[in-house]
């Protein structure tokens, strides 16, 4: 069994959201530290494996029967965790410390989002800016012969 790693900080409370926000911020910090020392592949591998374990915990928790998250949020977490899996596996394969920005950004943004309580009041974790989502009307598609005309669809424009 591996010894418990030493952490530079501890979660500020026992609230699960605070603990998750802290864990993501800690994983991001370790990835940043590993990126600053590209000559140390062991540190990079350890940081990537820690991040992978964390996201595996998130994946497992959204599949539990007692998970209180709405289905849409579960789906979004699953999709994001697949991106994290793919990116982590690529970085474990090439051990390129210069390509960690995606993982660091995801961890920081999710950590910041967890730092906002459901009633809108911030918790102890830092708050990241929230993306702005606007509907953009799409021009109507020409009807194909024999097909009923389609109503105009709206796509989403997301800015972070």
Q: What are the sequence ranges of the domains in the chain?
A: 16-128
Task: Write down the pLDDT at residue 15.
Answer: 84
Residue 59, pLDDT above cutoff 80? yes
In this structure, what are the phi and psi dihedrals at residue 154, rounded to the nearest 5 degrees? -110, 135
Residue 130, pLDDT above cutoff 90? no
Q: In this structure, are residues 116 and 134 in contact, taking their beta carbons and an 8 Å threshold?
A: no
In the chain the first and final C-alpha atoms are separated, in Å, by 41
Mean pLDDT, the chain, rounded, equals 79
Residue 155, pLDDT above cutoff 70? no
**Residue 96: pLDDT band by 50, 70, 90 thresholds?**
very high
Task: Write down the pLDDT at residue 13.
Answer: 75
In this structure, what are the phi and psi dihedrals at residue 104, rounded to the nearest 5 degrees? -65, -45
Task: Write down the pLDDT at residue 144.
Answer: 57
Percent of the chain's residues with pLDDT above 70: 65
d(CA 157, CA 66): 33
Question: 16-128 sits in which CATH class?
Answer: mainly alpha
User: What mean pLDDT is predicted for residues 60-79?
Assistant: 93
Crossing angle (nearest 10°) for helices 41-61 and 101-114 = 40
Q: Which of 85-94, 117-126, 131-140 has the highest mean pLDDT?
A: 85-94
User: What mean pLDDT is predicted for residues 110-114?
Assistant: 91
**Residue 116: pLDDT band by 50, 70, 90 thresholds?**
confident
Residue 141, pLDDT above cutoff 60? no
Between 114 and 119, name the one with better pLDDT.
114
Q: Which of 11-25, 33-47, 111-125 has the highest mean pLDDT?
A: 33-47
């Amino acid at each position: 069994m591996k010894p418990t790693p030493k952490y530079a900080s501890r979660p500020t409370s026992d609230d699960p959201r605070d603990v998750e926000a802290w864990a993501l911020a800690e994983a991001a910090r370790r990835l940043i530290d590993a990126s600053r020392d590209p000559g140390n592949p062991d540190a990079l591998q350890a940081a990537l494996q820690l991040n992978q374990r964390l996201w595996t915990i998130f994946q497992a928790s959204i599949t539990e029967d007692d998970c209180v998250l709405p289905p849409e949020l579960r789906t979004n977490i699953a999709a994001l965790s697949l991106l994290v899996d793919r990116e982590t596996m690529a970085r474990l394969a090439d051990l390129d410390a210069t390509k960690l920005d995606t993982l660091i950004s995801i961890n920081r943004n999710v950590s910041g989002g967890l730092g906002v309580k459901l009633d809108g009041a911030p918790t102890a974790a830092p708050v990241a800016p929230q993306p702005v989502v606007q509907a953009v009307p799409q021009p109507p598609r020409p009807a194909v012969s024999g097909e009923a005309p389609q109503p105009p669809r709206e796509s989403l424009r997301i800015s972070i």
